[in-house]
Amino acid sequence: MASVTFRNVWKRFGNTVAVKDLNIEVFDKEFLVLVGPSGCGKSTSLRMLAGLEEISEGEILIGDRVVNNVAPKDRDVAMVFQSYALYPHMTVYDNMAFGLRLRKTPKQIIDQRVRETAKNLGIENLLDRRPRQLSGGQRQRVAVGRAIVREPAVFLMDEPLSNLDAKLRVEARSFISKLHQRLGTTFVYVTHDQVEAMTMGSRICVLNAGELQQIDTPFNLYHNPRNLFVAGFMGSPSMNFFDAELKSVDGRIVVHTSTFELPIPVSVADAFKGYVGKRVIAGIRPEDIHDAEFQPSGITPAVIEANVDVVEQMGNEMILYLEERGKTFLARTDPRTQARVGQRMGVALNLDNLHVFDADTELSITYDHKQQKETMPA
Q: What is the CATH number of the domain that holds 335?
A: 2.40.50.140
Q: Residues 222, 247: one domain?
A: no
DSSP 94-154: HHHHHHHHHTT--HHHHHHHHHHHHHHHT-GGGTTS-GGGS-HHHHHHHHHHHHHTT--SE
Q: Residues 39, 170: one domain?
A: yes
| CA 371 distance to own-chain centroid | 19
CA-to-CA dists, residue 296 to 202, 242, 300, 308, angstroms: 30, 23, 10, 21
158: left (phi over 0), alpha (psi -120 to 50) or beta: beta
Number of domains in the chain: 2
pLDDT of residue 378: 44
The answer to whether 31 and 202 have CB atoms below 8 angstroms apart is yes
For residues 178-188, one letter each, b for 16 or more C-beta atoms within 10 angstroms of the residue's C-beta and e for the rest, the string is ebbeebebbbb
Taking the C-alpha atoms of residue 218 and residue 33, their distance in angstroms, rounded to an integer, is 10
* Domain boundary pick from 232, 258, 283: 232
Taking the C-alpha atoms of residue 291 and residue 236, their distance in angstroms, rounded to an integer, is 19
Residue 241: how many CB atoms within 10 A of its CB?
18
pLDDT of residue 317: 92
Who contacts 375 (Cβ-Cβ below 8 Å, separation ≥6)?
216, 217, 219, 220
Taking the C-alpha atoms of residue 189 and residue 318, their distance in angstroms, rounded to an integer, is 33
Domain boundaries, position 18? 4-232
For residues 4-17, one letter each, b for 16 or more C-beta atoms within 10 angstroms of the residue's C-beta and e for the rest, the string is bbbeebbbeeeeeb
The answer to whether 289 and 348 have CB atoms below 8 angstroms apart is yes
pLDDT of residue 367: 83
Q: What is the CATH number of the domain that holds 12?
A: 3.40.50.300
Q: Residues 207, 238: one domain?
A: no
* Domain boundary pick from 210, 232, 254: 232
Taking the C-alpha atoms of residue 283 and residue 364, their distance in angstroms, rounded to an integer, is 10
Strand 301-313's sheet: what is its strand order?
289-291, 344-350, 301-313, 318-324, 327-333
Q: Residues 131, 250: one domain?
A: no
Q: Residues 238, 129: one domain?
A: no
| CA 247 distance to own-chain centroid | 35
Taking the C-alpha atoms of residue 9 and residue 24, their distance in angstroms, rounded to an integer, is 9
- Strand 65-66 with 154-158, pairing: unpaired
* Domain boundary pick from 181, 206, 232: 232
Taking the C-alpha atoms of residue 72 and residue 48, their distance in angstroms, rounded to an integer, is 10
Q: Residues 99, 215: one domain?
A: yes
Taking the C-alpha atoms of residue 60 and residue 185, their distance in angstroms, rounded to an integer, is 18
Please give the chain's pLDDT, 378 residues, in tens.
689 999 999 999 999 999 999 999 999 999 999 999 999 999 999 999 999 999 999 999 999 999 999 999 899 998 888 777 889 999 999 999 998 998 889 999 999 999 988 988 888 899 999 999 998 888 888 988 888 888 889 999 998 888 777 887 888 888 889 889 888 899 999 999 988 999 999 999 999 999 999 999 999 999 999 999 999 999 989 999 999 999 998 888 999 998 889 988 887 888 888 899 999 999 999 999 999 999 999 898 999 999 999 999 999 999 999 999 999 999 999 999 999 999 999 999 999 999 999 999 999 998 875 565 545 454
324, β-bridge pairs: 327
Q: Residues 65, 120: one domain?
A: yes
Closest CA to 116 of 160, 148, 92, 155: 148
- Strand 318-324 with 301-313, pairing: antiparallel
The answer to whether 90 and 146 have CB atoms below 8 angstroms apart is no
The answer to whether 192 and 36 have CB atoms below 8 angstroms apart is yes
Taking the C-alpha atoms of residue 27 and residue 111, their distance in angstroms, rounded to an integer, is 32
Q: Residues 138, 246: one domain?
A: no
Please state the pTM of the whole predicted model.
0.88
Taking the C-alpha atoms of residue 272 and residue 365, their distance in angstroms, rounded to an integer, is 7
Q: Residues 253, 365: one domain?
A: yes
Q: Residues 57, 143: one domain?
A: yes
Taking the C-alpha atoms of residue 284 and residue 330, their distance in angstroms, rounded to an integer, is 10
Q: Residues 284, 220: one domain?
A: no
The answer to whether 305 and 349 have CB atoms below 8 angstroms apart is no
